[in-house]
Chains A and B, each alone.
Chain A
Amino acid sequence: MSDVPTGGTQEPSSTAVGGEEVVPSEARTLEVVEVREGMFGVHGTGDTSGYGGLQRPVAMPAASRRPFGGWYDDVADQLERLLGEEIGSGAIESVVADRDELTLHVRRERIREVCQHLRDDPALRFELCSGISGVHFPHEIGREFHAVYHLLSMTHNRRIRLEVAVPDSDPHIESVVSVYPTADWHERETWDFFGIVFDGHPALTRILMPDDWPGHPQRKDYPLGGIPVEYKGATVPPPDERRSYS
């Protein structure tokens, strides 16, 4: 079909190719991260079931609208006051409240400023940065790499997630080491595994892989590796080449 989305965002009214509504009604836009084809992991002429023609976009939970519920609104209000701009128009692109967790999508050049507010304001006071890691969405064109920050407020006993998306062609994010010193190793790990460059990091070097390692192993296009194993005449292919269910 011609109108199959290949990535980016989609209007909420659109339906999946299978005809089923995939977007919750209150959603604004849909973040399509992947398009899945077929069903049983068989591609090409081997599939006679007809399921091989199935194409379904995979969407992450969509952005929420106010009220977000509970203390989420307090945090959002306070951040709007401190940043002097509304959510959606400036540093914070969108807010996702899903599975009892609050996610703020932050623009990459503002992440340090947002973290500074989140740490310093007594009403927010996220004093501990639990960690930073990355996620690679190769189908989300222009937003391939997401850096994910998990902050914890011990004062208010709350958790919050910040997500920063950057394109593959220019994977630069402002470092938050000056706000959260613990981010040092976490940013190095994210650089090591995803190739996201944290500008302003004191020493952005590889941390878990050897210094001269080529490539960034957690990217989706980086192969898992492995060799076929022969056992009693049969050969078992390496895990990434085995048949998988799509």
Chain B
Amino acid sequence: MSTTDTGTDPYAQSQDTTSGPVFTVTGQDWDEVVAGVDPDASERIVVNMGPQHPSTHGVLRLILEIEGESVTEARCGIGYLHTGIEKNMEYRNWTQGVTFCTRMDYLSPMYNEAVYALGVEKLLGITDQIPEKADVLRVMMMEVNRISSHLVAIATGGMEIGALTVMTVGFRERELCLDLFELFSGLRMNSAYIRPGGVSQDVPEGGLDAVDRFVSLMRKRLPELAALCNQNPIFKGRLKDVGYLDLAGCLALGVTGPALRSTGYDWDLRKKQPYCGYETYDFDVITRDEPDAYGRFRIRLDEMDESLRIIEQCVTRLRALEGAPVMVADKKIAWPSQLAIGPDGQGNSLEHIRHIMGESMEALIHHFKLVTEGFRVPAGQVYTSVESPRGELACHLVSDGGTRPYRAHFRDPSFSNLQATAAMSEGGMLADVIVAIASIDPVMGGVDR
């Protein structure tokens, strides 16, 4: 090809379009020159997917090197949702920390709160003083949260492969879970319900009946999802043998949760290292010998049924515990009042306001000191962990003996699990990357914190 047709620029070809001349650095005979060096030069491209993309589960950025439709390399870019929650917690007292950490993994706020509260309680040495009712309420809310989180995992996973009905069904059911959160804690998300020492308020009027209705409705509706997907040939075709990760891969990459249990290993912290009295509940750990996206989907479905079993047992226990305390008896630690709904919204109960403002100066001082200063926590460090819907959620707390966390670090399961992206999607098809990532269900709020 001669260079005379490129006009004045010997390096860039130009062509006239309707919007004027366009210069390109391709052309001449360079495609033939590099063809000898790299036979795939025309096929290999690097694709940047995200950080804003409908199928990346939030602000996840994927850098994919693809040859045609096959992925040769996959890397994650994270950090787009980093909000400095751990740093912020160092500037608030121990109780206020709940309000921050509940916002990390926004699909499982109850677990974030629980693991943090368990850590503070272990530092204080009051783990065995937590009232039974608070533990039962924690377990119940966590299991409702597991259902809502798994529903979102299945719903968004379905949406990303074009199964929109799965999405609408999943979100319809999740709304019922959020209604329960609102009834019990006053907020649909980020409720700061589980606090060091117990929970923020007692069972509301009619709360247990609402849970009963929820369980019976879910028992009817969850099978709909199973009927829609389990044997659906298209659904199975997209999920089967995609995102394969065996036991050795899981342990090497620190992958826990449904992905680990899909290898057949029954690792569930609720059974292995029980907390909040999980050892007293009757439920099964779901495992499957299909370490692929389909196996993880089925595990999530079955785990929701187990969660319903636990919730039923919680309701039975709560009926027997009416009037029991939900906050630790130690007044130097317990938040001074329970929350209540007033004419202007949720806040401290009116009896408490009347007491501190009109009746007792000492009560006012106590309230003021505990709310503004907080309680002191003996120096030391602890590590607590819970089985969140995504795997091992853990909290490393360091106290210097002050009223604020010296350091709070959260080991979010999404953060570790996301490292498996490359192992699960390299060598596969481009469309399967989406399925593989959806099968580990990363939540970027938790990854980036």
Q: Is the CB of B380 within 8 A of A133?
A: no
Contacts of B44 in A (CB 8 A): none
Q: Is the CB of A210 within 8 A of B373?
A: no
Instruction: Judge whether A231 is part of the interface by a CB distance below 8 angstroms.
Output: no
Q: Is the CB of A99 within 8 A of B125?
A: yes
Q: Is the CB of A59 within 8 A of B254?
A: no
Q: Is the CB of B79 within 8 A of A210?
A: yes
Q: In the complex, A208 Cα to B86 Cα: how many Å?
A: 13
Instruction: Judge whether B172 is part of the interface by a CB distance below 8 angstroms.
Output: no
- Give the shortest distance, in Å, between B14 (CB) and chain A (any CB): 35
- Give the shortest distance, in Å, between B78 (CB) and chain A (any CB): 6
Q: Answer whether A61 and B379 are a contact pair too, CB < 8 Å, given A135-B407, A182-B252, A209-B82.
A: yes
Q: In the complex, A80 Cα to B394 Cα: how many Å?
A: 29
Which of A42-50, A109-117, A123-131, A167-175 faces chain B?
A123-131
CB-contacts of B401-438 with A (<8 A): 401-404, 406-407, 409, 411, 415-416, 418-419
- Give the shortest distance, in Å, between B5 (CB) and chain A (any CB): 42
Contacts of B251 in A (CB 8 A): 127-128, 154
Q: Is the CB of B419 within 8 A of A157?
A: no
Closest to B250 in A: A128
Q: In the complex, A58 Cα to B402 Cα: how many Å?
A: 9
Instruction: Judge whether B71 is part of the interface by a CB distance below 8 angstroms.
Output: no
- Give the secondary structure class of A's interface: mixed
Contacts of A208 in B (CB 8 A): 78-79, 82, 448-449
- Give the shortest distance, in Å, between A192 (CB) and chain B (any CB): 8
Q: Is the CB of A98 within 8 A of B78?
A: no
Q: Is the CB of A131 within 8 A of B411?
A: yes
Interface range for A: 35 or more
Q: In the complex, A34 Cα to B82 Cα: how many Å?
A: 29
Q: Answer whether A130 and B409 are a contact pair too, CB < 8 Å, given A154-B267, A184-B419, A208-B78.
A: no
Q: In the complex, A21 Cα to B84 Cα: how many Å?
A: 37
Contacts of A185 in B (CB 8 A): 415-416, 418-419
Which of A7-15, A86-94, A237-245 faces chain B?
A237-245
A-B complex: 7 closest residue pairs judged by Cβ atoms: A182-B254, A131-B411, A208-B79, A133-B409, A239-B91, A208-B82, A245-B373
Instruction: Show the binding face of B for A, using Cβ within 8 Å.
Output: 78-79, 82, 84, 86-88, 90-92, 122-123, 125, 251-256, 265, 267, 272-273, 373-374, 379-383, 385, 392, 394, 396, 398, 400-404, 406-407, 409, 411, 415-416, 418-419, 448-449
